[in-house]
C-alpha cells in the first residue's frame, strides 16, 4: 500500500514538472527530462546526503513510473488541462505528504535523531519542486505566499513525536493527514500565515 502511494507521489510530481515545462514550447524529450527531474530530484538529494544508494538506481520501477508518467502527461495534456486546476494542486499536496513521511522513515532507519529526519523530510519533499522551478525559470515554490513549507514542517514534527508513542502506520496516516489537510486548506482559501509570522523587508542597499 505504502509502496503504491510512493509511486503516486512520483506520478504527481512528474505531472507537475511536465505542466511547468509546458509553459514554454519545449520538445517532448526536454519535457520528459523536466518531469523526471521533478519526480526523482528530492529523493536523489536525500540519498546523496545520507550517502546511501540512490533509490531509482535500486528500484527501477520508480524510474520507469516517472518516465511513463511524464510521457503520458505529455500525450494527455489536453485531457489534464480540462481537469479542475486545483485537482493537481491537491495531488501535489498528497505527493509532498508522502515524500516527507518516507524520507523521515528512511532517515530514522539510519539512526539519525528526529530533528535531522524532519529536515530531511522537508528537503526531500521540496527539492524536486525547486529543481523544476529553477530549470523552467520560474520563481521557486519557496517564494510562493501560500503555505508550503509550514504544513510539511508541522506534519513532520508531529510524525516524529507520535512515533515515540504509537504504532507506525497510524502515525503515518495522521502526519500525512495534517500535511495534506493544511496544504489543501491553503490551496482552497489561498491561505498564508498570519502576518506577524511572515516577513517582508525593503532594503534599498544591496545587502549580501
Residues numbered 52 to 91 that lie near its own copies (CB under 8 A) are 53-54, 56-57, 60, 63-64, 67, 74, 77, 81, 85, 88-89
- Tell which one of 7, 10, 14, 20 touches its own copies (CB under 8 A): 20
- Tell which one of 109, 142, 166, 170 touches its own copies (CB under 8 A): 142
Among 2-10, 24-32, 165-173, 174-182, the segment contacting its own copies (CB under 8 A): 24-32
**Using CA atoms, how far apart are residues 166 and 172, in angstroms rounded to an integer?**
10
Q: Is residue 198 at the binding interface for its own copies, with CB under 8 A as the rule? A: yes
* β strands within 41-181, DSSP E: none
Q: Which is nearer to its own copies, 89 or 181 (CB)?
A: 89
* Closest distance of CB 169 from its own copies, Å: 26
* Region 28-47 residues binding its own copies, contact defined as CB under 8 A: 28-34, 36, 44
**Using CA atoms, how far apart are residues 156 and 115, in angstroms rounded to an integer?**
9
**Using CA atoms, how far apart are residues 146 and 161, in angstroms rounded to an integer?**
26
Enter the C-alpha cell of residue 128: 524536486
- Tell which one of 109, 134, 170, 173 touches its own copies (CB under 8 A): 134
Enter the C-alpha cell of residue 156: 513532520
- Tell which one of 50, 72, 161, 174 touches its own copies (CB under 8 A): 50
What track of x and - describes contact with its own copies for positions 99 through 118 (by CB under 8 A)? Answer: -------------xx-xx--
**Using CA atoms, how far apart are residues 109 and 50, in angstroms rounded to an integer?**
11
Q: Is residue 166 at the binding interface for its own copies, with CB under 8 A as the rule? A: no
* Closest distance of CB 22 from its own copies, Å: 4
- Tell which one of 6, 11, 14, 22 touches its own copies (CB under 8 A): 22
Phi, psi of 83 (to 5 degrees): -65, 150
Number of neighbours of residue 191 by Cβ within 10 angstroms: 16
Q: Which is nearer to its own copies, 8 or 130 (CB)?
A: 130
C-alpha distances in Å from residue 97, one per residue of 3, 47, 195: 14, 18, 25
Local structure of residue 143 (DSSP, 8 states): G
**Using CA atoms, how far apart are residues 97 and 21, in angstroms rounded to an integer?**
23
Amino acid at each position: 500500500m505504502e509502496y503504491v502511494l510512493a509511486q503516486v507521489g512520483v506520478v504527481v510530481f512528474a505531472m507537475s514538472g511536465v505542466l511547468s515545462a509546458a509553459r514554454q514550447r519545449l520538445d517532448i524529450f526536454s519535457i520528459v527530462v523536466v518531469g523526471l527531474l521533478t519526480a526523482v530530484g528530492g529523493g536523489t538529494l536525500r540519498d546523496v546526503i545520507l550517502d546511501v544508494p540512490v533509490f531509482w538506481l535500486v528500484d527501477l520501477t520508480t524510474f520507469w513510473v516517472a518516465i511513463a508518467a511524464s510521457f503520458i502527461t505529455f500525450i494527455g495534456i489536453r485531457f489534464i488541462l480540462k481537469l479542475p486546476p486545483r485537482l493537481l494542486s491537491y495531488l501535489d499536496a498528497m505527493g509532498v505528504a508522502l515524500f516527507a513521511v518516507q524520507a523521515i522513515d528512511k532517515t530514522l532507519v539510519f539512526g539519525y535523531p528526529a530533528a535531522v529526519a524532519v529536515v530531511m523530510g522537508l528537503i526531500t519533499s521540496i527539492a524536486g519542486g525547486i529543481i523544476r522551478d529553477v530549470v523552467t525559470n520560474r520563481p521557486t515554490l519557496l517564494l510562493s505566499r501560500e503555505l508550503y513549507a509550514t504544513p510539511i514542517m508541522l506534519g513532520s514534527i508531529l510524525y516524529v513525536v507520535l512515533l515515540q508513542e504509537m504504532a507506525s502506520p497510524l502515525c503515518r496516516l495522521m502526519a500525512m493527514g495534517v500535511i495534506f489537510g493544511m496544504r489543501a486548506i491553503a490551496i482552497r482559501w489561498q491561505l498564508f500565515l498570519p502576518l506577524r509570522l511572515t516577513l517582508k523587508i525593503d532594503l534599498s542597499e544591496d545587502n549580501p
